[in-house]
Amino acid sequence: MIDVSEYFVAGFILIGAFFAVVTAIGLIRLPDLYTRTHAASKSATLGVMCILIGTLIFFLTEDGVFNSRVVLGIFFVLITAPVGGHLIARAAYNTGVKLAPETVRDDLADKEKHEQAKSKSKSKK
């Protein structure tokens, strides 16, 4: 007889692997660095998290061991992945990587202007 928990384990690990595949396809198909960072920072995070949750449930039900290091791993991945995505995108923009030709608008190009306008309105107050 198969336990219900095994369905959960299989489900989590398959979903995680599926999201990892989607990340890889996204990295190939998306047009520029910034849209690729979207795929890498979101899908990869959820994929790794799902696989780790599946591992946690597997060892909890099979051996009765609660592996707290896996929980810490989930937490650390969750807080570091978006920071990595942000830093890559920011460094790329500051070194002048071009946005994709489909790009509709770019407010960051006018950053200086926005900043000056803001500091002026502040000094008036």
Partner 1 sequence: MAFQVLLNFFLAFLWMFLTSSFTLSSFIIGYFLGLLVIFAMRRFFQTRLYILRVWAVIKLTVLFIIELIKANIEVLAIVLRPKMDLKPGVFKYDTKLEREWEVTLLSLLITLTPGTLVMDVSDDNGTLYIHALNASDIKGNVSSIREGFEKAIMEVSR
Residues that bind partner 1 (CB under 8 A): 19, 22, 25-26, 29-32, 34-35, 37-39, 41-43, 45-46, 78-79, 81-83, 85-86, 89-90, 93, 99-100, 102-109, 111, 114-115, 118
Q: Which is nearer to partner 1, 3 or 111 (CB)?
A: 111
Q: Which is nearer to partner 1, 62 or 109 (CB)?
A: 109
Q: Which is nearer to partner 1, 26 or 73 (CB)?
A: 26
CB of residue 120 to partner 1, shortest distance in Å: 13
Q: Which is nearer to partner 1, 3 or 83 (CB)?
A: 83
Residues 6+ apart with CB under 8 A from 89: 33, 34, 37
CB of residue 121 to partner 1, shortest distance in Å: 11
- Cβ count within 10 A of residue 45: 21
State the Cα–Cα distance between residues 35 and 118, nearest whole angstrom.
29
Residue 31 has what DSSP assignment?
Answer: S
Alpha carbon of residue 49 to chain centroid: 11
State the Cα–Cα distance between residues 33 and 40, nearest whole angstrom.
10
